[in-house]
Amino acid sequence: MIAVDVGGTTIKGAVVSRDGEFVHELSRATPCEHGSEAVTAELLAVISELREREPAAAAVGVVVPGAVDPVNGIARFSANLGFRDVPLRDLVTAATGLPALLDHDVRAAGVAERTVGVTAGVSDYLLAVIGTGIAGVLDSGGQNIRGASGIAGELGHVPVWPDGDLCPCGQRGCLERYASAASVSRRYAELSGRTLSAVDVVARCADDATAAQVWREATEALAIAFATCTMLLDPAMIVLGGGLSEAGEALLAPVRGELAERVVWREPPPVRLSGLGARAGRVGAAVLAWRLLGVEEFGSWERWSAEQ
């Protein structure tokens, strides 16, 4: 099984076994600056290279950000990748001769979490996918909350400080403006003049007051949004996923502490780390691709249900 997660920074591919093991992995920079056709060509090159390593691969699952039509396999719109009505699924099948599917990256992360991750068997939860941006997967009563127009879960644009920083989306004080990996890096650069990745900012917190301040505001913003979600949705669990979740305890401890300060008349829900990290999109793509082939049993994928 070939699974590919096309992100704004990298195209991440993997060959995933029937037991959920990442047998081969491969990443390429996403050539966003060269437009939609270059991105599509690089995606097909990644798939081709993975197939050389695993000629027996039987299907391809691809996930992308933005607006996606999974039924027709079309990438409707993605600002970063330049996609506008690109029939990616059929392009993959034409290039490989294999059955393929296209889905949304965050929806796929939700599929991964509830099928083989820490929320397997949990009916009510919030999964916060914290990467370049921030998105949410909300399940209630065992059903995914999709919304009237299919765009529920925009956790990154919840106004945590309603008169706060202007977001490129046009709104003020959006969670994403403080707590995404991109914003942690940007805010640190604005204050210190140095450009570091979010992970490097987190690593400097003990010795660098500016790093500590940026990270404290990021985790505080997350806790405010989670307090709001707790009031509205009463989840049994909040799960931290996406690339920034690989910060581990440095993320978990302050978020738990701040949430306990802000949810006081009821028990705050437990906050856990996803076991999937930056692989969530590909695990979801692989689960969906195996399902495409009729597989419905994923009991042997328990490696993904352990916290990082």
For a copy of itself, which stretch binds (CB under 8 A), given 8-16, 66-74, 87-95, 151-159? 151-159
For the bound state, the minimum distance from the C-beta of residue 173 to a copy of itself, rounded and expressed in Å, comes to: 9
Decide whether 226 or 298 has the Cβ nearer to a copy of itself: 226
Alpha carbons 193 and 187: distance in angstroms, whole number: 10
Question: In one letter, which amino acid is 166?
Answer: L
Strand partners, 11: 6, 28
For a copy of itself, which stretch binds (CB under 8 A), given 19-27, 46-54, 156-164, 211-219? 156-164
For the bound state, the minimum distance from the C-beta of residue 227 to a copy of itself, rounded and expressed in Å, comes to: 6
Decide whether 20 or 156 has the Cβ nearer to a copy of itself: 156
For the bound state, the minimum distance from the C-beta of residue 144 to a copy of itself, rounded and expressed in Å, comes to: 8
Residue 161: both structure tokens together:
């400080």
For the bound state, the minimum distance from the C-beta of residue 161 to a copy of itself, rounded and expressed in Å, comes to: 7
CB atoms within 10 A of CB 273: 20
The one-character DSSP state at 134 is E
20, 283 contact by CB (below 8 A): yes
Query: If binding is defined by CB under 8 A, does position 150 make contact with a copy of itself?
Result: yes
Residue 193: both structure tokens together:
């003049």
Query: If binding is defined by CB under 8 A, does position 160 make contact with a copy of itself?
Result: yes
Query: If binding is defined by CB under 8 A, does position 162 make contact with a copy of itself?
Result: yes
Interface with a copy of itself: number of residues (CB under 8 A): 44
For the bound state, the minimum distance from the C-beta of residue 185 to a copy of itself, rounded and expressed in Å, comes to: 23
Query: If binding is defined by CB under 8 A, does position 260 make contact with a copy of itself?
Result: no
For the bound state, the minimum distance from the C-beta of residue 125 to a copy of itself, rounded and expressed in Å, comes to: 8
The one-character DSSP state at 175 is T
CB atoms within 10 A of CB 128: 28
For the bound state, the minimum distance from the C-beta of residue 138 to a copy of itself, rounded and expressed in Å, comes to: 7
Question: In one letter, which amino acid is 276?
Answer: L
Helix axes 280-292, 105-116, angle to 10 degrees: 80
The correct pick among 73, 242, 269, 281 for binding a copy of itself (CB under 8 A) is 269
Helix axes 209-233, 249-262, angle to 10 degrees: 50
Strand runs labelled E in the chain: 2-6, 10-16, 22-29, 60-64, 67-69, 74-77, 84-86, 100-104, 125-130, 134-140, 143-144, 237-241, 271-273
Alpha carbons 69 and 64: distance in angstroms, whole number: 11
Between residue 127 and residue 146, which ones bind a copy of itself under the rule CB under 8 A?
Answer: 136, 138, 140-141, 143, 145-146
Query: If binding is defined by CB under 8 A, does position 80 make contact with a copy of itself?
Result: no
**Pattern of binders to a copy of itself over 178-207, x per CB under 8 A?**
------------------------------
Decide whether 69 or 124 has the Cβ nearer to a copy of itself: 124
Backbone torsions φ then ψ of 60, nearest 5 degrees: -130, 130
Which residues bind to a copy of itself, rule: CB under 8 A? Answer: 123-124, 136, 138, 140-141, 143, 145-155, 157-162, 169-172, 224, 227-229, 231-236, 262-266, 269
